[in-house]
Structure 1
Amino acid sequence: MTLTDSDTDTAPRPAFDRAASTSAPILATLAERWSPRSFDAAKPIDETVLTAALEAARWAPSAANSQPARFIVARRGTPEFDTVASSLLGFNSVWAGSAAVLIVAVAEVVDAEGKPRRWAEYDLGQAMAHLSVQAHHDGLHVHQMGGFHVAALTEAFSLPAALVPLTITALGHLAPADALPDDALRARETAPRTRLPLAALLLTNV
């Protein structure tokens, strides 16, 4: 299945401009990608689109092609989804249950010979970046979270010491900001997007 622009244009759009302000043009998918908290709890995930996002993660680069990224994919309505959702902390636990899918991003930090994989977490980050861009391109939205009970999730899914969960990602279809149950969440949803200026990131640029 190949999505066209007309396919993705049916998704709800925020009533405010979320596109990044950049000093040079970048790909529209990157400029328009943002991390909402309001997801449509009634809309199921398209399995082809979900698979495409996971394939994008699979084909991300990794050190020596070691491929240390692993994923727990839990769809709403399953016990596994409830387990992942119950591990979330703070504001995350309030809104993330409306997402169609929760994805635990796991790094394999030790190889089969017991040697540490120094770049595993970096490579997992690249995989998740690929996943988020592909998902946004296909009309979905993604919000990555670091606030969760790592030990509880590790125990619930019987993860060995070599597999370390780093983030949980909510993935699904956008809902209006006023669907959020909390004034503080609604304020965050509509707050301007900000980044440091590019010059502040460049330690050397000669």
Structure 2
Amino acid sequence: MNELISQRRSPRAFDADATISADDLRTLLEAARWAPSHGNTQPARFVVGHRGTPTFDAIFETLTRGNKTWAFRASVLLIGCVVTTDDRGPIPNVEFGLGLAMENIALQAVDLGLIAHMMGGFDKEAAHRAFAMPPDARPLVAMALGRQGSLSDLPEDLQAREQRERQRLPLSETVFTGSWGVSELG
């Protein structure tokens, strides 16, 4: 397995003094642009703001209270959105396209020595309004990007979560052959 995959984590301890260069941000977004999508429809769209800008602040305001306890230290906040139609009509499987684009960003972040944390905890309707999105655009996920910071900057409960051992279900519980729940993998 590629090391980028095994090294990818979702930390919350961001360095509040770090920045992401325009070139690195462009590289991250290019990685998203090259993600596969259903029929090459490319439904992924992004609202992106560097810390200290009105866009960052507007994204931050949509976050849930728990995410606000740490995300303010990120260098960049973004909202991953989908457009649901194109000139051919409704686009199928838009979530698939955005998911792949977001994972490309997360893996590219590892390659650049950055960290990325995806968040479902934000007010999607508020984001839609704040950025005057068209009716066929749907915000689905937020992401914080930056450099690793100190665990001591996080509330105690989050410090403990950050230090937990990473666990994944065994393949025998996720990959089946012949019938649901029957696995040939150990």
Give the C-alpha shift of residue 183 in structure 1.
0.8
Measured against aligned partners, the alpha-carbon deviations of 1:27-61 in whole angstroms (never above 9, x if no partner) come to 11111110000100111112211111110100111
Q: Which residue of 2 aligns with 1:4?
A: none
Q: Give how far 1:144 is off.
A: 0.1
Superimposed CA distance per residue, residues 126-162 of structure 1 (whole angstroms, 9 cap, x where no aligned partner): 0111111011111000000001111111001001121
**SS at 2:77 equivalent:** strand
Structure 1 residue 90 displacement after superposition: 3.2
Give, in angstroms, the shift of residue 63 of structure 1.
1.3
Q: CA RMSD in A?
A: 1.2
Q: How far apart are residue 203 of structure 1 and its match?
A: 2.1
Equivalent residue in structure 1 for 2:92, among 118, 123, 127: 118
Are 1:41 and 2:41 an aligned pair? no
Q: Which runs of 4+ in 1 moved over 3 A?
A: none
Shift of residue 112 of structure 1? Answer: 3.0
Equivalent residues of 2:38, 2:92 under 8 A apart = no
**Gapped runs of 5+ residues in structure 1?**
1-25
* One-letter code aligned to 1:95: W
Q: 1:98 aligns to what SS in structure 2?
A: coil
Structure 2 residue 158 is matched with structure 1 residue 157:
no
For residues 166-195 of structure 1, the C-alpha deviation after alignment (integer angstroms, 9 at most, x for no partner) is 000000000121121x11111111111111
The alignment covers a number of residue pairs equal to 179
2:46 maps to what in 1? 71
Percent of residue pairs identical: 41
Alpha-carbon distance in 2 for matches of 1:91, 1:193: 21
Aligned ranges 1:3-14 → 2 under 5 Å: none
Q: 1:104 aligns with which of 58, 74, 79?
A: 79
Cα distance in 2 for partners of 1:147, 1:127 equals 19
Question: Normalization by structure 1: what TM-score?
Answer: 0.84
